[in-house]
Amino acid sequence: MNEFELIAKLTKSLPANENVVTGAGDDCAVLDLGAKDKLILFKTDAVVEGIHFTRETPPEKIGRKALARCLSDIAAMAGTPVAALVTIALPENFDAEFVGGIYDGLNALAEKNYVAVVGGETTTNPRHILISIALVGTVPRGKQILRSGAKAGDAIFVTGELGGSLAEKHLEFEPRLAEARWLAEHSSIHSMIDLSDGLAGDLPHILNASGVGAELLKSSIPISREAKLAARKNSSAKPAFAAAMTDGEDFELLFTVAAKSAVKLLDAWKKQFPKLKLSCIGKIVAGDGILIRDKGGSHKLNAHGYVHFT
């Protein structure tokens, strides 16, 4: 049973109440706690030694990544982060200076994004470090962007470049909070997700939630310099296109918008964010699954992104 099969099993009969607007199955839970003009976003995520970082990783970068992953999910809903709780599980022989460095990195990113760190939990974990963040944010009432709104004919966009994240990006990425809020304010975004498990892994979440399929143009996928260099230097490395589709931990925004709005959006984006690439990589189609169009025509994508327990 892989990660998503397990999630499906565990979320079949979760209890809910009248405060739940959107429960399990999106980037954040959306809660209505009675504020006149705002809904609450609620998210948790964890990083684990040996999976998301190593003991050789600078501690400041570990703490930064732990919080940044949750911030990226708030961005995927076009929200604003507010406050975080931190749970850290440590082996008995932990280095207090190393742990302090983790908090230095986490706190620096929190201050940069005006996030309060309001407490948490410390506990023991045999052999490995684990850090779990619970993050609360807000979004204007009715303005949250879900995975489930994609429509046939929509243009598919992605920010930045994809692949090769292990070179450094997975530790240093910038959550696209400002960009997501700008998108929500200046365009009618139908669906959005952040790319944590790779384009091939995360686009299906939008497609499944929306009941549609996608056709991607291979030549339009924005492949990072790191992925291209790795493919050229190491014959055993993934081809650059495969890396862009499946590496994961890019933490860019993937979203859909009506095709008639695509050109206007691109022009406005270039003026607002001249240093960050925005690429139209394909379209939403009726049906299901992902097709890749290249010089030889269209064929089904069989690759998948990162999946735990496989």
Q: Per-residue pLDDT tens for 101-126?
A: 999 999 999 999 999 999 999 999 99
Residue 13 has pLDDT above 90, yes or no: no
Q: Per-residue pLDDT tens for 247-261?
A: 999 999 999 999 999
In this predicted structure, what is the pLDDT of residue 308? 72
pTM (2 d.p.) = 0.94
The conformational region for residue 47 under phi > 0 = left, psi -120 to 50 = alpha, else beta, is beta
Q: Which of 58, 134, 66 is nearest to 97 (CA)?
A: 58
Decide: 284 and 302 in contact? Cβ < 8 Å: no
Residue 309 has pLDDT above 90, yes or no: no
Q: How confident is the model at residue 48 (pLDDT cuts 50, 70, 90)?
A: very high
**% of the chain with per-residue pLDDT over 90:** 89
Decide: 194 and 265 in contact? Cβ < 8 Å: no
In this predicted structure, what is the pLDDT of residue 3? 77
Q: Per-residue pLDDT tens for 127-153?
A: 899 999 999 999 999 999 999 999 999
CA dihedral 268, 271, 277, 283 (to 10 degrees): 10
Q: How confident is the model at residue 10 (pLDDT cuts 50, 70, 90)?
A: confident
Spatial distance between the Cα atoms of 67 and 117, rounded to a whole number of angstroms: 10
In this predicted structure, what is the pLDDT of residue 107? 98
Average pLDDT for residues 189-211, to the nearest whole number?
97
In this predicted structure, what is the pLDDT of residue 237? 79
**% of the chain with per-residue pLDDT over 70:** 98
Q: Per-residue pLDDT tens for 267-292?
A: 999 999 999 999 999 999 999 999 99
Decide: 85 and 132 in contact? Cβ < 8 Å: no
**CA separation, residue 17 to residues 13, 32, 143 (Å):** 13, 10, 21
In this predicted structure, what is the pLDDT of residue 12? 86
Domains of the chain with CATH codes: 3-140 (3.30.1330.10), 155-300 (3.90.650.10)
In this predicted structure, what is the pLDDT of residue 11? 85
For residue 112 the two structure tokens come to: 């940069």
Strand order in the sheet with 213-217: 189-194, 253-257, 155-159, 278-285, 213-217, 290-294, 297-300
Spatial distance between the Cα atoms of 257 and 92, rounded to a whole number of angstroms: 50
